[in-house]
Structure 1
Amino acid sequence: MSIHAVKRSQSHLAWDNSIPPALHVASGDTVTFDCLDASNGQITPASTASTLASLTLTSLDQVNGPVFVAGAEPGDTLRVDVLEVRVAEWGWSAVIPGFGLLADEFPVPALKIWSLPPEDMPVRAEGQGRYAWFDERRGIRIPLRPFAGEMGVAPGKAGAHSTIPPYKTGGNVDTRHLTEGSVLYLPVEVDGALFSIGDGHAAQGDGEVCGTAIETPMKVTVRLTVVKDKPYVKTPHFISRSPHPSDEQFYTTTGVDSDIREATRAAVRHMIEFLETEYGLSRVEAYMLCSVAGDLRMHEVVDMPNYVIGFMLPKSIFTKG
């Protein structure tokens, strides 16, 4: 087994099988990627909400790579073992006009700069590990469970494909469960697979409802292995642990509608109203908190014509009664 590295400068802004590999590795090799945050360095710890107006949107969600894995052929599967994820000591969350589940209701830009604890911060006695304060005065803290929002391989279809959406070959899957110790399986469509990664998140709720998590630069180490006996992997598959303790309790709001998107929007809207009323958050603060800590769940999808979508927020993030 060999260990390799991909630099910050070795990045690209599209999934495109014509992009030359930044690195060639053997199956089973380990690669460490040094990645900027999803803003591609446009947002810094000194940024304010006014910075969002000057963002070059076409530069967002860059990924590092691609890495050519010897022996990978169309029809194979690329196994990605997530060995280590290390984030910076700062991050950001934002409401960016035009992005997010309730974009039409939040047209004004907002930015939160987070202070993230160093990697050597000791684990607390109650076992919660590292966390960042969303609002220390109100006693709201967020457990840090870092992961890469973007992990994927090049599509077989020629041309440049945006890094913003997810695809059957991976990409912006934004799956909070793909933390250290998880295993991701991706369907290979081109020789060498051409794996890339990026979009560091220190924490995120399922659904990432306002369009951002705790975005942060990261260094992530993965092991890339070609698998020949999993032809059923035609979309991303993964093995992971639950992001919550087994005894976790949740505040849950629901949305009910015949349109699944409207049911989802209603579930989030109701949680925002709950947080405004019960915890005194502003509407935009509540929207951001939902995006970094809450989970969307499909509670009922069989009794037509309506869907029931739940929005679950762990009670443990609130440290004051």
Structure 2
Amino acid sequence: MDKVMSNKYVIALYVLPALLLILAIIYVPIVLTGYYGLTEWNGIGAMKFTGFDNYARVLQDNAFWQSAGHSLLLAVFSAVSLFGYLLVALVLSGKVKGANTFRKIYLIPMLLSSVAIAQLWLKVYHPTNGVLNSFLESLGFSNPPAWLAETSLVLGALFIPILWQYAGFYILIYYAALKNIPASLEEAAKIDGANAWQIAFRIKLPLIMEVIKVTIVLAVVGSLKYFDLIYVMTDGGPNGASEVMASYMYHQAFRGFDFGFGSAVGFVLLLICLIITWIIRKLTESKDTIQYS
């Protein structure tokens, strides 16, 4: 068996199906998207090659940069929220009564589809008989706001269900990483007189720093290309106040039937994600790697 697996041709034969699949569903569509951005095309008729006109139009489009600002704001909120998820995971990983129950509760949003979550929060934010406004009225607020209809409030109102939706995912990742730390390290720290905060921030967090870096990239990039819940709840409204890059791309391509420009928006979105991922990796790069066994 070792002789067979050391054969380069056999290794290539095993790798080839996965490589072809990755090429077909990831890299080929990326190349095609970049090419379609060089054309004027309504999705049905003949393509007309226009060079970099669509890309220049994207860079000069104020509506696109407004949507990019909304996406970046969501990315910042998502990255900051990771600190809260990490604190919850630290608590759950300790000897806390009922930790298993709370861990299951936090995972509930992961079991729901984005459409179901959107419908749930639409009921919460309903201006007349929604749960939130009914609660505010019971506290004496006579004229509570229409959360999804006011341009100054809609983004904040959308960020709450988005962050709630993925809370369980990140808590589970941090919880698994923390539980993987040998108990002997914590016991040794306690013998040396370390308290709970010192153990958490000087022992546990440095040991899972690589996991934290990965979650930062996942949260930021995921926020930049976020689409589904915003599409269902507001469709980018009112007046583009909740438009993000992915929804802007969808509107241009599938509603405006401008697939050339929509493809250019999608390709620029890809480049922005790659650049920001590179920046995050550079900012969090460390020459020292802490290992434990």
For normalisation by structure 2, the TM-score amounts to 0.23
Q: Which has the higher contact order (CA 8 A, sep 6+)?
A: 2
- Which has the greater radius of gyration? 2
Between Structure 1 and Structure 2, the one with more strand by share is 1
For normalisation by structure 1, the TM-score amounts to 0.22
